[in-house]
Amino acid sequence: MSFKSSSTRCEFCGAEVTSLTALGSRFCDGCKEKYNEFLCDRCGQRVVHNRHFVFELQTTCSNCQMRDKIKQLSPEHRENIMAYVRIGHRIRAIKEAHKYFPIFREAVDAVLTLEEELKQQ
């Protein structure tokens, strides 16, 4: 699919783009080979990931996956984290979340997700 646009550069590397992806993104031929993109089947967010680091086909974004992990916490564990989130103690909330999410990055993501949920209430 060819196109005419004032922005004909790749979103990632800036190389010339000859066609849009199926989702309408601007990837050069090299980045089309390197990256995969999809829309989350739950929230509709566009997700782009490096094909070389993701070994299974995903249909759900990391935000929705984290919300699922948070739902798996017991009400008590969730409340332990939320107590710190509500008063704005992010570091304490992360330390508490790390008890239930052994991977530190997941503990951080859990707290950020809970903070976002709190803002939306």
User: What DSSP string runs through the chain?
Assistant: -----S--B-TTT--B-SS--TTS----HHHHHHEEEEE-TTT--EEEEETTT--S---S-HHHHHHHHHHTS-HHHHHHHHHHHHTT-HHHHHHHHHTT-SSHHHHHHHHHHHHHHHHH-
**Spans of all domains in the chain:** 1-60, 62-120
Give the pLDDT of residue 101.
Answer: 97
pLDDT tens string, the chain, 121 residues long: the values are: 444 544 689 999 999 998 999 999 999 999 999 998 999 999 999 999 888 876 677 789 999 999 999 999 999 999 999 999 999 999 999 999 999 999 999 999 999 999 999 999 8
